[in-house]
Amino acid sequence: MKKAIFPGSFDPITLGHHDIIERGVTLFDELIIAIGINADKKNMFSLEERKQFIEDSFGNNPKIKVVTYEGLTVHFCQENNIDFILRGLRNPADFEFEKAIAHTNRDLSSIETVFLLTAANTSYISSSIVRDVIRNHGDYTKLVPKTVRIK
């Protein structure tokens, strides 16, 4: 069974994340969307909200699980028998950053990182851009799945 993790803060999940998840789930028997808990980071959305956004988007797919975790991603993978880390790439800067993390993960474990390029129509979207649009009362709905709504 090929299990992969797609880790991130998902604050909030974007159409870019959604695209990677939809395409990534076709490559693996199980895809775990793992929301990392980082106490140093000030999130716009609570952990529960972020998890709910993702579950509402993919809850009908039995191959997708949504979990939260703390600590190193490779440790979570080792504890849960996960062999692959799925990452999305929007641009060359993402590649350089993700490449360094992938090399570090390979030094720490035998876990492989699989990269998917984001779709051209979502390659400009990041969670930080979405948060900025929300803070400034812009139309964020064009950047996120329909499950992401501010109350």
What is the CATH classification number for the domain harbouring 91? 3.40.50.620
Decide if 17 is catalytic: yes
**The pTM is what?**
0.94
Q: Is residue 149 part of a domain?
A: no
Distance CA(111)–CA(2), nearest Å, equals 12
Task: Tell me which of 3, 23, 90, 99 is the catalytic residue.
Answer: 90
Decide if 90 is catalytic: yes
The pLDDT of residue 27 is 97
Distances (CA, A) of 6 to 54, 125, 140, 142: 12, 17, 23, 23
Number of domains in the chain: 1
Decide if 127 is catalytic: yes
Task: Tell me which of 17, 50, 51, 87 is the catalytic residue.
Answer: 17
**Which H/E stretch holds residue 52?**
helix 47-58
| Confidence at 14, pLDDT banded by 50, 70, 90 | very high
The pLDDT of residue 56 is 96
Q: What is the DSSP string of 79-94?
A: HTT--EEEEEE-SHHH
Mean pLDDT, range 138-149, rounded to an integer: 95
The pLDDT of residue 150 is 85
Q: Is residue 131 part of a domain?
A: yes
Q: Is residue 148 part of a domain?
A: no
Q: Is residue 24 part of a domain?
A: yes
Range of the domain at 26: 3-142
SS3 148: coil
Q: Is residue 151 part of a domain?
A: no
